[in-house]
């Protein structure tokens, strides 16, 4: 599938475009999405060929509190504006994946608004999990299941047939209206399995190469990656191992994770194209997390040579910092386009190399050597083998491969064979 040959650029549109923090639902749509087109030359310089856009549909605040699945958020523009962004990206060989938020909605969602108005007589009661014997702090006169302690978002009951039909109609609309190439499913591990199967069938009927990727932080990824549900999930296990190994100065942790997941003999996910990343809109930026900033180049080199579908979060290619603990806006800012720097040039080189090498897109993973400071591994497919050497220590190291000694400079990632 095309995703295995992709290098993603992840944008959180409401932050990236400088949209107001709250939606008043009265102002005229403002075309802020065209900023993505303005950044297109930069994306192409970084050899990006796929963009994942966070929530773009009408919502109350942060985008994960949907009000209307059929209308682009007025703070970002109109449906026509989104269609134009997708058209221009496609014209330049860039695929587009949108955020599908189907586990919950905002309190302004039309069906929930009807429940608040008509209570037990609402035709939409079964779209949610409600308790009319209690009250909540909004004084709705009933309680409902929120999401992860957040009662500004209302959990949906995906067992309801009419609700499923509404959501699937929205997805069909997105594919037909905007010609999108895939979806990232928010909190996919919690979604109803029947809904995932229906979603899979409808999406691939409309677009046979449509890509479905789910957010999954913990658990067995294979529960939702299969022939009937999703193609990929977010690889939080690898994300943690990458930065933790650098901070602990011990690549053994990364080695354990890689072999558990991708080892050609025992890897539990060895044939699965998991979605890999160093940061995203939900976590602190990698330049804040990793203590030794000199290892940022090593981490991006690993991201782009290890198994998986790699993604760069907007702005992190320049080494931006951001602490999620200090607030969402710290990791979801409105940026100004910058000139290339040493880190972004390094990433651009590796993205270009990855896109030229089938072994890095499809190849099996073989570990040659690991110590606290050194990792040497190969990616193999057909007759192509690429061998990569990593040294996170502060002194020169040597590694002998097929009788040839290779120098591994300190705090570096090197190609030993390709």
Tell me the pLDDT tens digit for each residue of 364-385: 999 999 999 999 999 999 989 9
What is the CB neighbour count within 10 angstroms for residue 294? Answer: 13
pLDDT band per the 50, 70, 90 thresholds, residue 74: very high
**Predicted local distance difference test score (pLDDT) of residue 345:** 98
Indicate whether 224 and 92 sit together in one domain.
yes
Last residue of a domain, one of 157, 184, 199: 157
Print the domain residue range for 112: 106-157
Task: Tell me, yes or no, whether 34 lies in a domain.
Answer: yes
Q: Per residue, what are the HEC states of 106-138?
A: ECCCHHHHHHHHHHHHCCCHHHECEECCCCCCC
Residue 312 in tokens:
């760069």
- Complete DSSP assignment for 163-203: HHHHHHHHHHHHHHHH---EEEETTGGGS-HHHHHHHHHHH
Last residue of a domain, one of 333, 362, 391: 362
Task: Tell me, yes or no, whether 369 lies in a domain.
Answer: no
Q: Is the pLDDT assigned to residue 148 strictly greater than 80? A: no
Task: Tell me, yes or no, whether 209 lies in a domain.
Answer: yes
Indicate whether 113 and 191 sit together in one domain.
no
The candidate with the shortest Cα–Cα distance to 192, out of 171, 232, 161, is: 161
Edge-to-edge strands, sheet with 384-391: 364-370, 374-381, 384-391, 412-417
> Strand, coil or helix: what is 346?
helix
**Predicted local distance difference test score (pLDDT) of residue 375:** 98
Indicate whether 94 and 188 sit together in one domain.
yes
CATH of the domain at 145: 3.90.400
Question: What CA–CA distance (Å, rounded) separates 418 from 406?
Answer: 14
Task: Tell me, yes or no, whether 404 lies in a domain.
Answer: yes
> Strand, coil or helix: what is 80?
helix
Q: Identify whether the C-beta of residue 173 lies closer than 8 Å to the C-beta of residue 203.
A: no
CATH of the domain at 35: 3.20.20.80
Can you tell me the mean pLDDT for 15-32?
97
Question: What CA–CA distance (Å, rounded) separates 117 from 121?
Answer: 9
Task: Tell me, yes or no, whether 382 lies in a domain.
Answer: yes
Report how far Cα 399 is from the mean position of its chain's Cα atoms: 35
**Predicted local distance difference test score (pLDDT) of residue 150:** 80
Indicate whether 225 and 318 sit together in one domain.
yes
> Strand, coil or helix: what is 387?
strand
Residue 109 in tokens:
């969602």
Indicate whether 223 and 134 sit together in one domain.
no
> Strand, coil or helix: what is 245?
helix
pTM, entire model:
0.97
Indicate whether 220 and 140 sit together in one domain.
no
Q: Calculate what percentage of the chain has a pLDDT beyond 70.
A: 100
The candidate with the shortest Cα–Cα distance to 11, out of 35, 27, 31, is: 35
Relative to beta strand 374-381, strand 364-370 is antiparallel
Question: What CA–CA distance (Å, rounded) separates 392 from 70?
Answer: 48
Indicate whether 81 and 204 sit together in one domain.
yes
Task: Tell me, yes or no, whether 248 lies in a domain.
Answer: yes
Task: Tell me, yes or no, whether 303 lies in a domain.
Answer: yes
Last residue of a domain, one of 140, 157, 174: 157
327 contact partners, CB below 8 Å, separation of at least 6: none
Indicate whether 15 and 75 sit together in one domain.
yes
Question: What CA–CA distance (Å, rounded) separates 211 from 203?
Answer: 9
Can you tell me the mean pLDDT for 241-262?
97
Relative to beta strand 95-100, strand 66-72 is unpaired
Indicate whether 133 and 41 sit together in one domain.
no
**Predicted local distance difference test score (pLDDT) of residue 383:** 86
Indicate whether 166 and 147 sit together in one domain.
no
Q: Is the pLDDT assigned to residue 151 strictly greater than 90? A: no
Based on the structure, what is the number of domains in the chain?
Answer: 3
330 contact partners, CB below 8 Å, separation of at least 6: 284, 322, 323, 324
Task: Tell me, yes or no, whether 368 lies in a domain.
Answer: no
Indicate whether 245 and 394 sit together in one domain.
no
> Strand, coil or helix: what is 104?
strand
Query: What Rg, from alpha-carbon coordinates, does the chain have?
Result: 22
Q: Is the pLDDT assigned to residue 350 strictly greater than 80? A: yes
Reported as a single tens digit per residue, the pLDDT across 223-248 is 999 999 999 999 999 999 999 999 99
The candidate with the shortest Cα–Cα distance to 145, out of 185, 102, 104, is: 104
Reported as a single tens digit per residue, the pLDDT across 154-173 is 999 999 999 999 999 999 99
Question: What CA–CA distance (Å, rounded) separates 372 from 375?
Answer: 8
Q: Is the pLDDT assigned to residue 149 strictly greater than 80? A: no
β-bridge partners, 233: 214
Q: Is the pLDDT assigned to residue 325 strictly greater than 90? A: yes
Indicate whether 255 and 210 sit together in one domain.
yes
């Amino acid at each position: 599938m095309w995703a295995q040959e992709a290098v993603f650029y992840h944008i959180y549109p409401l932050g990236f475009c400088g949209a107001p923090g709250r939606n008043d639902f009265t102002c005229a749509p403002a075309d802020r999405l065209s900023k993505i087109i303005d950044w297109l030359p930069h994306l192409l310089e970084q050899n990006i060929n796929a963009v994942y856009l966070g929530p773009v549909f009408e919502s109350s605040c942060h985008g994960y509190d949907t009000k209307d699945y059929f209308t682009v958020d007025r703070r970002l523009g109109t449906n026509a504006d989104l269609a134009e962004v997708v058209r221009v990206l496609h014209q330049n060989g860039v695929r587009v994946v949108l955020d599908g938020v189907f586990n919950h909605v905002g309190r302004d969602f039309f069906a929930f608004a009807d429940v608040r108005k008509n209570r037990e007589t609402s035709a939409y009661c079964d779209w949610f999990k409600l308790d009319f014997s209690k009250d909540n702090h909004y004084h709705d006169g009933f309680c409902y299941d929120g999401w992860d302690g957040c009662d500004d978002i209302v959990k949906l009951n995906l067992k309801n047939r009419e609700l499923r039909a509404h959501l699937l109609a929205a997805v069909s609309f997105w594919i037909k209206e905007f010609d999108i190439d895939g979806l990232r499913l928010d909190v996919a591990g919690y979604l109803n399995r029947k809904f995932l199967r229906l979603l899979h069938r409808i999406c691939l009927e409309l677009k046979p190469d449509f890509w479905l990727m789910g957010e999954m932080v913990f658990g067995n990824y294979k529960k939702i990656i299969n022939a009937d549900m999703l193609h990929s999930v977010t690889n939080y296990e690898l994300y943690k191992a990458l930065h933790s190994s650098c901070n602990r100065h011990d690549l053994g942790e990364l080695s354990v994770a890689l072999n558990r997941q991708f080892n050609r003999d025992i890897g539990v996910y060895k044939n699965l194209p998991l979605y890999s990343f160093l940061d995203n809109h939900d976590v602190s930026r990698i330049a804040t997390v990793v203590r030794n900033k000199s290892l940022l180049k090593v981490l991006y080199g690993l991201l782009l040579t290890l198994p998986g579908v790699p993604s760069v979060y907007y702005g992190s290619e320049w080494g931006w910092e951001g602490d999620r603990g200090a607030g969402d806006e710290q990791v979801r800012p409105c940026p100004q386009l910058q000139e290339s720097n040493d880190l972004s040039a390094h990433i651009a080189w590796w993205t270009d190399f990855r896109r030229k090498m089938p072994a890095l897109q499809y190849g099996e993973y073989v570990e040659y050597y690991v110590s606290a400071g050194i990792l040497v591994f190969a990616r193999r497919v057909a007759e192509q083998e690429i061998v990569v050497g990593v040294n996170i220590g502060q002194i020169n190291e040597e590694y002998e491969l097929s009788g040839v000694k290779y120098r591994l400079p300190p705090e570096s990632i090197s190609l030993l064979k390709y």
